[in-house]
Amino acid sequence: MKKALLTLAIVATSMIGACATGPSADELIAQAEAEIKVTKGMENLWRDTESMLEDAKKALASGDKSTASQLAKKALSEAKLAQQQAKDNADAGPKYK
């Protein structure tokens, strides 16, 4: 499981870094909100994901688009990783033969 999460994190980071002219802070915030909603439905939302999104909204409201984008990307990444974690652990538990 850790290997899968690490691989997903590396791929997500690479994709985010490759998009120099990527989505705006508003778009990233909207994407993060949508992914967080999905993650909540899976009952696997990580502790700090929503607070990161709220910080991104505050940064955008104060005019700091760079910080808003960075925080929104992190919240989006965490939401997607939490979804993958929920999928990976869906059948976790003792296996009796």
State pLDDT tens for residues 47-75: 999 999 999 999 999 999 999 999 999 99
| pLDDT tens-place string over residues 3-37 | 666 566 676 665 655 556 889 999 999 999 999 99
The better pLDDT of the pair 57, 90 is held by 57
What are 38's two structure tokens?
């999905």
Q: In this structure, what token pair is assigned to residue 21?
A: 């002219």
